[in-house]
Amino acid sequence: MNFIRNILNSRSQQEDGNFFLELKEILGFKPKTKSLYITAFTHRSMNIKDDKGDAINYERLEFVGDAILGSVIAAYLFETVPHGDEGYLTKMRSKVVSREHLNKLGEELRLIDFVETRIPKSNFGNNIHGNLFEALVGAIYLDKGYGFCKKFIYKRVINPHVDIESLEGKVISYKSLLIEWCQKEKNTFNYEVYDDTGKDELKHFSVKLSINDKVISKARATSKKKAEEKASKRAFFALQKQITKSQ
């Protein structure tokens, strides 16, 4: 396809170095099907389509990468923690592939430096890092197969970052934890979210978290989800003794 050939040429002539040489340093092997990796770093804002009119960007590879990551981590946990039941293994896998963790992995590898986009990179949120990491995993799987992909995940995710004891104590969602505790203790809870009237450049949301009709915490953030999680974290530490005692 002409657009792939054009991007291949531009990639090889980048001022900041050869795209595929830099990528090889991250992967530990030479890419075979180069078009997959180009797609893995093409943002939808480029508005590129193939000969059939289908969009070319990293989102489909992100879907594949998410599934492969989950399967490799699941198999690792199954073999490493023989005493863990289904619920335990599911929670542990969620902690390894949490959005926060994947964002850190993508940021650590500086994957955003490779992105082709028409949007200023400074405008992207943190999730771009994790999205690119998943897309890269998807590209590796389709290019080199499951074995190569597994080795990459062990090298970049499991060996340096997965510690069972640390993961057991890691909270990935304070909101989920708090709701679970409230339901167990038959406490009523309410998240009251409203638009923030502050003068910030970016729109903010504020939230009040009440438990048994008493306001426990307040928070504000750039999204409702973030504001609720922030308020939940504050409430957790305010009620930590009670929550820990009931566990």
Active site residues: 66, 134
Joined together, the tokens standing for residue 125 give: 């949120």
**CB atoms < 10 A from the CB of 101, how many?**
20
- Which of 108, 153, 106 lies closest to 129, judged by CA? 106
Strands lying side by side in the sheet with 205-211: 189-195, 205-211, 214-221
Q: Is 178 exposed, middle or buried (0-12, 13-18, 19+ CB in 10 A)?
A: buried
- Based on DSSP, count helices (H) and strands (E) in the chain, helices before strands: 13, 3
